[in-house]
Each structure stands twice: as structure tokens, then as C-alpha cells.
Amino acid sequence: MAFGDAYADSIHRLEEQAATMGQAASAMLRQALASLERRDPDLARQVLAGDDDIDAKDATMERDVLELISLLPPRQSDLRRLASLLRVARDLERVADYACDIAEVTLELSPPGGDALDLSPISALGGQVLSMLADALAALVASDTALARQVNRADDLVDAGYARIHQQLVAWMEHHPHQVREANQLVLVARYLERVADHAVNVAEMTVFTVEGRRRPFHHGGDPASPRVPTNPMGRKDGES
């Protein structure tokens, strides 16, 4: 086998590693949401136990990408792909962290009572975020920039859903002061989901970067095919200056 073919095969294996990591992170998030809906501490602990595996996958991806780059300076298109995979692995590691955060909320909540908070808005938001994450990973695997742009547009709906849930929970706290702590925990869950959606957008951006060579194409209306000015009704996104 020619060296060029072996190099291409190595990149393909790295892409498969990223897809596997994405599936694992998505499964953790789905389990975390299920643990919250069911108030299931055992399922929450399963989520927390899976975090080390995601961290190991992230470290392995970084090691394998750097080792491959050290073999031979890659072509520009291959370098973009490898750089994207490094970024994607880090974003997926953060998704898993947020899944653990949601699982920890499950462990904090008391068993449901007669006036338990309605979790259906959180569940609906979680479904939207899981769909975004699935589309972002599918776009990455297929190098589908059209699907990547759909992920970016879907983020507006998640931001709006987060704002609604925040308002609803604040109103609930005003009328049910004995449940302020629990409602505040659910505000955090909504925030975690909004951040996972941002990481899904980051993964989608890496697809556009790999295919078109355009860095951060979705920011501040920078992509004519997907015009959008990022907004956050609750303030800046994490890490923005």
C-alpha cells in the first residue's frame, strides 16, 4: 500500500474514532436526561461513571492526530481535517461534562411530590439539543455543509427555548418559594443544554471549515448561506469576551 493511501486510511480511522466518541457523548446526554425525568439516581451514577471513558477517548484522539501529523506534513485539506478532529473531540468531551452536570442535578433533586415541577419543557429542549448533536455528527461524517448550516439555524430555537424555560422557572419560584432550590437546579439544566447546543454548532462549524476552509463561518452573520447573529437572552456565551 502506498504511503498516501495509508495516510488517508489513518485519517479515516480518526474520523471513525470521532464518530464513536460522538455516539458515546450523545448516549451519556440521553441517559442524563432520562435520569432527570425519572428521578433515577442509579442511572445518573451510570452517566457519571462514563465520563472517564470519554476523557480517555479525547486524549487518544489528540495523541493519534499529533502522531499522524509528525509522520509527514499533511496537505492543506488533510491538515484542516485533522485540526477539525482535534476541536471536535474537545467539544464532545465538553458535551459529556454537561451530561455529568445534569446527572449530578438528578442526584440533588428530591423525589417527586404532589406539586412537582413540570419537566416536559426541559425534556423538549433536550430532544432538540440531541437532534442538533446528531445532525452535527452526521454532517461531520458526510462532509455535508448544508446539514451543518441547518444545525446552526436550529441553535436559535434552542436559545429561545432556554429563555422561555428560564422565565417560567423564575415565575414558579415567585409562587412556590419552598421549591426555589429545585427550580434553580432546573434553570441550570436548561443552561447546560443551551451550552451543549453551542458545542453542536462548533462541531458543525468544523465541517464547513474542513470542506471550505472558512474558520468560524457562522459567527456574526459571516456565512451568507446561513445568516445569523448569535444572541443569548441571558448574556454572553461561555468563553466570549
96-106 mean pLDDT: 97
- Residue 232, domain member (yes or no): no
Number of structural domains, the chain? 1
Domain that holds residue 137: 3-221
pLDDT in tens, 150-166: 999 999 999 999 999 99
Contacts of 184 by beta carbon, 8 Å cutoff, 6+ apart = 169, 173
- Residue 238, domain member (yes or no): no
pLDDT in tens, 166-220: 999 999 999 888 889 999 999 999 999 999 999 999 999 999 999 999 877 887 4
Could you give the percent of the chain with pLDDT greater than 90?
Answer: 73
- Residue 229, domain member (yes or no): no
- Residue 230, domain member (yes or no): no
Cβ(20)–Cβ(1) below 8 Å = no
**Angle at which helices 120-142 and 180-212 pack, to 10 degrees?**
10
- Residue 167, domain member (yes or no): yes
- Residue 241, domain member (yes or no): no
CATH number of the domain that 52 lies in? 1.20.58.220
Torsions phi, psi for 12 (to 5 deg): -60, -40
- Residue 43, domain member (yes or no): yes
- Per the document, the length of the chain is 241
pTM across the whole model: 0.87
* pLDDT > 50? residue 116: yes
* pLDDT > 90? residue 93: yes
- Residue 236, domain member (yes or no): no
In this predicted structure, what is the pLDDT of residue 71?
84
